[in-house]
């Protein structure tokens, strides 16, 4: 079949359909990477806007025990109360700089009777692997505390924990053991305690303000989608050359391509020079 009429058949229609589906998939993956970048930028904005703020009273930021807005993440707040040491639990499977460990969660009973969970910091696994070798005790009696707010975590199906530990910082789970209203939407990463104990778990680090490679990945998926159509065009053009090889115009194009290849090919002297240079 001469000319371009060969493309009007089911085979090339199927190739086109596959190419279109591939391009759509690439477009969806590209949008997913753009969305992930926006999420990363939103997290960076929360760090830059909230991390270094002056602490304010907890009730000024969270007027009720069930109030919290994600834009308040990392906001420093001040609390006063007494630690409920007997209700302390460990959040397991908490890596820190590549090391496995735990985070120490100690409920703090405030002067109004409500309870706020304080993450006092990180401890490495101990010799028994399933518990730290030592858990520094919190201050006894009334204490002034500064924390940075963080949202509670969901339950992860299949994640179990032994007594005295929890798989995730799921605040309603901690509330089950308390006889007082608990702030159920947010807890706090410890910044300081007054009076300060002699030792305390390792404090949380400022999150890295890095948006990652999502933008470059997004553009790569766009390029892949374009390459799919370029590949289809190349395949169509190649078959056209084969089917129309005896046409004068196509023969002339073939001769031009051959002359270009011959012009690019090194002569015997250049080949000999390269061999001598490699010795």
Same domain, 186 and 265: no
Does some domain include residue 203? no
Same domain, 125 and 161: yes
pLDDT band at 33 (very low <50, low <70, confident <90, very high): very high
- What is the spatial distance between Cα 139 and Cα 168, in angstroms, rounded to a whole number? 25
Number of domains comprising the chain: 3
| Chain segment 122-181, per-residue pLDDT in tens | 999 988 778 898 999 999 999 999 999 999 999 888 778 888 899 999 999 899 888 889
Does some domain include residue 200? no
Specify the pTM: 0.75
Same domain, 58 and 178: yes
- DSSP-derived pairing of the beta strands 186-194 and 115-124: parallel
Same domain, 182 and 112: yes
What is the CA 222 to chain-centroid distance, rounded?
A: 21
At 238 the pLDDT is 83
pLDDT at 271 over 60: no
Q: Are 151 and 171 in contact (CB under 8 A)?
A: no
| Chain segment 87-127, per-residue pLDDT in tens | 999 999 999 988 999 999 999 999 999 999 999 999 999 88
Same domain, 222 and 252: no
Range from 2-16, 52-66, 179-193 carrying the lowest mean pLDDT: 2-16
136: DSSP letter: P
Same domain, 15 and 118: no
The residues pairing with 99 across neighbouring beta strands, listed in sequence order, are 96
Instruction: Provide the domain limits for residue 258.
Output: 245-279
Does some domain include residue 159? yes
Same domain, 128 and 188: yes
Q: Which residues contact 250 (CB under 8 A, 6 or more apart)?
A: 241, 244
| Chain segment 212-235, per-residue pLDDT in tens | 899 999 999 999 999 999 999 988
Give the three-state DSSP class for 125: coil
| Chain segment 68-79, per-residue pLDDT in tens | 999 999 999 999
pLDDT band at 266 (very low <50, low <70, confident <90, very high): low
Same domain, 35 and 128: no
Q: Quick one: what percent of the chain has pLDDT higher than 90?
A: 63
At 158 the pLDDT is 79
Same domain, 155 and 220: no
Q: Last residue of a domain, which of 194, 225, 253?
A: 194
At 10 the pLDDT is 86
What is the CA 154 to chain-centroid distance, rounded?
A: 17
Does some domain include residue 261? yes
Same domain, 226 and 255: no
């Amino acid at each position: 079949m001469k000319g371009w009429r060969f493309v009007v058949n089911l085979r090339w229609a199927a190739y086109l359909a596959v190419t279109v589906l591939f391009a759509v998939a690439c477009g969806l993956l590209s949008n997913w990477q753009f969305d992930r970048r926006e999420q990363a930028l939103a997290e960076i904005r929360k760090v830059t806007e909230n991390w270094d703020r002056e602490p304010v009273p907890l009730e000024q930021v969270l007027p009720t025990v069930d109030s919290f807005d994600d834009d308040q993440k990392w906001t420093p707040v001040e609390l006063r109360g007494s630690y409920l040491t007997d209700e302390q639990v460990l959040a397991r499977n908490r890596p820190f700089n590549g090391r496995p460990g735990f985070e120490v969660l100690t409920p703090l009973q405030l002067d109004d009777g409500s309870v706020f969970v304080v993450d006092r910091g990180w401890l490495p696994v101990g010799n028994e692997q399933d518990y730290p070798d030592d858990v520094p005790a919190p201050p006894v009696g009334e204490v002034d505390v500064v924390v940075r707010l963080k949202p509670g975590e969901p339950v992860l199906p299949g994640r179990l924990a032994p007594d005295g530990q929890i798989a995730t910082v799921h605040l309603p789970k901690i509330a089950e053991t308390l006889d007082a209203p608990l702030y159920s939407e947010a807890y706090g990463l410890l910044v300081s305690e007054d009076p300060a104990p002699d030792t305390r778990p390792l404090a949380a680090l400022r999150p890295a303000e890095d948006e990652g490679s999502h933008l470059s990945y997004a553009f790569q998926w766009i390029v892949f989608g374009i390459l799919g159509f370029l590949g289809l065009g190349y395949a169509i053009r190649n078959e056209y050359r084969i089917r129309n090889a005896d046409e004068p115009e196509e023969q002339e194009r073939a001769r031009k391509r051959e002359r270009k290849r011959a012009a690019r090919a090194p002569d015997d002297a250049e080949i000999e020079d390269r061999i001598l240079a490699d010795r």
